[in-house]
Structure 1
Amino acid sequence: MVETRTEDGTGRGERRDTTSGFFQRYGLAFVMVASVVGAGSIFVASSAGIQYGYTLIWAFVGVALIGVMAQDMSARLEIFGEPLGAFMRRKFGERLAVAIGFVLSIGAFLWVIELTAATAKGIAVLTGGAIGWMPLAIAVTVLSILTGVLNYDGLERVMTAMLFVLFGAYLVVTGASAPSPVGIASGLVPAFPGPGALGLTASILGSTAIWSNFFLESNLVEEKDWTGAEDVPAMRRDLLLGYGIAAILIVLVLIVCAAVLRPAGYDQLGSFITPGLALAETIGQWAMVLFLVGAAAAAFNSIMPVVWSVVYLFENARGKDVDSADRSFKLLYTVGAAFGVLGPVISLTTGMSVVDMIVLFPAYSGIVSLPVTAVLLFWAINSEAVMGEHTNGTVSNAVNAVLVVLAFVLAALSAPDLLSSLGVLP
């Protein structure tokens, strides 16, 4: 195909058909938000709907905007400077950069374990327990490895297709739940309905502002051939589309739970699959199947970008040129995704349930990985040595600083609960 730039500057290459044209303009953000729309975000959105009805819809919309701003920083970092992992190497040297990368990546590996377990648990429920979640976790791990070793273009298409399927499934279930338009509209107005809402809002931030995406997007913009200032508008349109769909999708989960479970008397969420089971009682078996298929698919779809980000992080920190088609890249990805098989081991040795993993394991990322990464990103985007004349302006810094502040607020709010759950605090 002859390489050219289109008149609007939004993509390169002659578009042979609608599909290829779409993926030349969009798609990168869908890889990012695949990790946002996972078991954690579904669990948090379901909890918000059950506990507070429609009241916290505004928080998901606001956090999605913060996610767009953070990803915009990450993308501009690569367009005008270098990937975030390379910045770490520049500032700390290879050994310390790799050490910091290891500390951050513990959160990613814990994510892989709980996402694999969540996917397996969802499949186990859908099959009526014919196969337990533990053996299914091994099958899910193998499937995530086979899917994740696809080259970037293939992985982008798989994740985008799955997100649109999820969107359609939850949209159908939401329509059948007959939500209140007035309640939804009122939920767009910021309010804290109770003392526990602040902590839940922090969880919303932790499940939406995914730290690993900061490393991933600062590498992947090159895959879209976004390499100059003229490409920034296209990058931002992609981010707004991807995060817009992700935010709507997660809000749909909240709306379903607010419209169906809360009136039915549910006051807490025992598992991320509880909404599906309740929907079977109130709407019908088909609604449960759609909801649980969506929950399992969302968890699975999150595994690949999380592991990819770790590979890019370590390769950048070591000063390596990264190519997703290289054998070394695929080998590192395979090792990272293989952590998924540890879910059954952890459950058997500690007695943890899948729900325990979903609740506890992401906490490490919220308490450690997100604050550290937010500071690194803010530092890099303001470094003249890296960004030249494209560093953040005063207004951008004021807005982007919100992410850093909220990251530390999240850590402060989450740490006591995590330590208490682990038995460190009473």
Structure 2
Amino acid sequence: MSIRNLSPVDYVAGQVQQYGLAFVMVASYFGSGSVFIASQAGVMHGYTLLWAVVGAALLGFMAQDMSARLGIHGEPLMIFVREKLGRPLATAIALFLSVGCVAWTLGLVAAVGAGVSFLTGGAIPWQPIAVATTFVAIGVGLLAYDTVENAMIAMMLSLMVVYVIVALPSGADPGAVAVGFVPTADTFGALAMAAGLLGTTALWPNFFLESILVHQKGWTDESDLPEARTDLAVGYAVGGLTTVAILIAAAALLRPMGFTELETFMTPGEALVEVLGVWAMVLFIGGVIAAAFNSIIPIMWAPAYMIPQAAGYDVRQGDRLFKLVFAGLTGVGIFSPVISWALDLSVVDMVILFPMYNGIFGLPLAAALLFWAVNDRETMGEYRNSRKLNVVNAALVLLAIVLAALSVRDFLALLTGGGF
């Protein structure tokens, strides 16, 4: 049947079936932490770091392109690790990385709880909402892949629309916004925040997931690579535009109001009431809740694949072993209130510190493994990285290592000292 004979609904459904994997990848990185970091960047540095948002999207695209090529021409990343390093070491790596995924979930369910509690005026504390969110996430994550992918597409497109609607009436200066997309001398005073924007976008669980899920889309040979890259381009464009909208809203509305930093990721929503009205606050906080919940599913899919693969089992999403690992590890989220109490961490502390843990300990290791895999002659054959690709891809590995080295001392001090 030709495109001309298709109804609009059938055409859209066909496009969703053909593409959509990148929206799962983008949904995983675009959580409450990303909303907070983008808002903080706008408050502290105005439009100066818009270029870093674009760079972050390009960095995410680059990492996922490596993973897609590995899945199409070689094998899933954790299977590569097992074949090269053996089951015991591969299993140890998978378990070590999975600790980071569980930590992420602890922060994300807390963020959902805090957001819902805020919208209800504090009538319900965040702790029971976080526990309930954990069980809902388990139920959603066990649905069929196509169902979850369609939900992620709808959620990410909705988030983009929500934050663009909030940003449009902000009164941002078009000239200043345009200048923000070009690094200037002011950038040198904002490198730490730029690193935060870059680091939050290159999410290491996606390195493993993309290499697995390309086969879910039927991408199995070189001719499928352009389609996979188109998918990534669309997904990361949506994620980047959403981040740009949040940063612009914060720079145009909160910075002139005298904000120099944000105490919580709820602060932008509270401040928006004074300028745009309650509707803007509800949309902003609703977006935070959706973004946080969105992230849980793909992040926790990663260990559900990685641990069995490292141990020598070939699992699919519907397999019993996959479901047991996913439900068991995601279920640890019910202890989010306990972790908050035991470590004396607020919700915003967990939202920032637990992703930071992954950036310090998970990202360098996963990036190095991915870089090794796409350069392995035995695995990739004639499709291994060229010199030009290596120059570009090595930037991800170097950035991950530098960020980890610069951040580890502060992270440990914050984690053991009761947060910020």
Whole-Å separation in 2 of the counterparts to 1:43 and 1:403 = 23
Match of residue 332, structure 2, among 308, 323, 339: 339
Partner of 1:51: 44
TM-score under structure 2 length normalisation:
0.95
Match of residue 264, structure 1, among 257, 261, 265: 257
Opposite residue 51 of structure 2, the aligned amino acid is W
My pick for the range that moved more, 355-364 or 188-197, is 188-197
CA contact (8 A) 1:51 1:262 kept: yes
CA contact (8 A) 1:366 1:414 kept: no
Partner of 1:170: 163
Partner of 2:403: 410
Q: Percent identity?
A: 50
> Would you say 1:146 and 2:139 are equivalent positions?
yes
> Would you say 1:401 and 2:389 are equivalent positions?
no
**1:193 aligned counterpart, secondary structure:** helix
Output aligned runs, 1:264-303, within 5 Å.
Answer: 264-303=257-296
Match of residue 157, structure 1, among 132, 140, 150: 150
Opposite residue 369 of structure 1, the aligned amino acid is G
CA contact (8 A) 2:343 2:416 kept: no
Match of residue 189, structure 1, among 182, 185, 210: 182
Partner of 2:237: 244
Whole-Å separation in 2 of the counterparts to 1:266 and 1:392 = 46
**2:264 aligned counterpart, secondary structure:** coil
Partner of 1:11: none
How far 1:56 moved relative to its partner?
0.2
How far 1:327 moved relative to its partner?
2.2
My pick for the range that moved more, 74-83 or 18-27, is 18-27
CA contact (8 A) 1:199 1:414 kept: no
CA contact (8 A) 2:48 2:187 kept: no
Partner of 1:312: 305
How far 1:413 moved relative to its partner?
2.0
TM-score under structure 1 length normalisation:
0.94
Match of residue 375, structure 1, among 368, 372, 390: 368
How far 1:24 moved relative to its partner?
2.5
Partner of 1:421: 414
> Would you say 1:354 and 2:354 are equivalent positions?
no
Instruction: Give unmatched runs, 5+ long, in structure 2.
Output: none
Opposite residue 178 of structure 2, the aligned amino acid is A
How far 1:273 moved relative to its partner?
1.0
Output aligned runs, 1:324-335, within 5 Å.
Answer: 324-335=317-328
* Coordinate RMSD, CA, aligned: 1.8
Output aligned runs, 1:125-144, within 5 Å.
Answer: 125-144=118-137
How far 1:196 moved relative to its partner?
5.3
> Would you say 1:75 and 2:65 are equivalent positions?
no
Match of residue 94, structure 1, among 72, 87, 99: 87
CA contact (8 A) 1:192 1:198 kept: no
Whole-Å separation in 2 of the counterparts to 1:136 and 1:24 = 33
**2:186 aligned counterpart, secondary structure:** coil
My pick for the range that moved more, 38-47 or 310-319, is 310-319
How far 1:194 moved relative to its partner?
6.2
Match of residue 390, structure 1, among 376, 379, 383: 383
| 1:260-310 alpha-carbon deviations (Å, 9 max, x no partner) | 000000001100111000001111000000000001100100000000011
Whole-Å separation in 1 of the counterparts to 2:60 and 2:131 = 32
Partner of 1:104: 97
My pick for the range that moved more, 330-339 or 39-48, is 330-339
My pick for the range that moved more, 389-398 or 331-340, is 331-340
**1:352 aligned counterpart, secondary structure:** coil
How far 1:16 moved relative to its partner?
8.5
Aligned residue pair count: 414
How far 1:192 moved relative to its partner?
5.6
**1:270 aligned counterpart, secondary structure:** coil
> Would you say 1:223 and 2:216 are equivalent positions?
yes
**2:233 aligned counterpart, secondary structure:** helix
Instruction: Give unmatched runs, 5+ long, in structure 1.
Output: 8-14
CA contact (8 A) 2:204 2:363 kept: yes
Opposite residue 413 of structure 2, the aligned amino acid is S
Q: Whose helix proportion is higher, 1 or 2? A: 2
Whole-Å separation in 1 of the counterparts to 2:56 and 2:188 = 19
CA contact (8 A) 1:57 1:187 kept: yes
Whole-Å separation in 2 of the counterparts to 1:113 and 1:325 = 24
How far 1:419 moved relative to its partner?
2.5
Runs of 4 or more, structure 1, over 3 Å off, are: none
**1:17 aligned counterpart, secondary structure:** helix
| 1:57-114 alpha-carbon deviations (Å, 9 max, x no partner) | 1001011101101100001101000000001101111111010111112111110100
Opposite residue 410 of structure 2, the aligned amino acid is D
**1:357 aligned counterpart, secondary structure:** helix
CA contact (8 A) 1:117 1:133 kept: yes
Match of residue 113, structure 1, among 103, 106, 116: 106
Opposite residue 277 of structure 2, the aligned amino acid is G
Change (3 A) 1:192 1:115: farther
CA contact (8 A) 2:63 2:207 kept: yes
